[in-house]
Amino acid sequence: MERQNPTALQVESWLKELGVEWLRQWDTLVFLYRHHASLASAEHVAQLLGYSTNEVVAALDSLESLSLVKRSRVSQGVRLYEFAAPDDSRRGDHLDRLMALAYDRAGRLFLAKALRRGGPTNHNDGAPRSRGPERTGTWLKVI
């Protein structure tokens, strides 16, 4: 697919058509798209992505309801999570364009900005949680 520079309005339209509203949904979808399938617990996927388990479970639930993810029943504490290509060619085209945009850092930042703008405004906005020291002014707060 040829590289293009879509407008913010186009990107927001493509995300809306897919039903992706939050950054955590997008990150979870990209993870499964790139791995095609993952045999893991939601907790493990959350650790890999840098989100809380509850955020990833919510993202997986919503992506499953959008028919973008399939998951098996729980077996020994894990499920098989599998990316599911959209049946509708229009949605598939939008997903392809968004994945192409997410190929480089500038595109990922563009998508993150679009998703943060449309995401919830509370503390569960989908942004990865920092596990490192907290910066306060010019000093690191380590405790």
pLDDT, position 8: 83
The average pLDDT across 7-30 equals 90
Q: Read out DSSP for the chain?
A: -------HHHHHHHHHHHT--SHHHHHHHHHHHHHSEEEE-HHHHHHHHTS-HHHHHHHHHHHHHTTSEEE---BTTBEEEEE---SSHHHHHHHHHHHHHTTSHHHHHHHHHHHHHHS-SSS-SSPPPP-SPEEETTEEE--
What mean pLDDT do residues 9-27 have?
91
Mean pLDDT of the chain: 79
What are all long-range contacts of 46-54, with beta carbons under 8 Å and residues at least 24 apart?
49/24, 49/128, 50/128, 50/129, 50/131, 51/24, 51/27, 51/126, 51/128, 51/129, 52/129
Alpha-carbon torsion angle 81, 19, 118, 108, nearest 10: 60
What is the model's pTM? 0.74
pLDDT value at position 64? 93
Who has greater pLDDT, 95 or 1?
A: 95
pLDDT higher than 80, residue 120: no
pLDDT for residue 130 is more than 60: no
User: Does residue 53 surpass a pLDDT of 70?
Assistant: yes
Per residue in 56-98, pLDDT tens? 999 999 999 999 999 888 777 677 888 888 888 999 999 999 9
Of 101, 95, 130, whose CA–CA distance to 113 is shortest? 101
Bridge partners (DSSP) of residue 79 are: 40
Yes or no: say if 124 and 20 are a contact pair by the CB < 8 Å rule: no
Kindly state the percentage of the chain with pLDDT values over 90: 36
Q: What is the pLDDT of residue 117?
A: 62
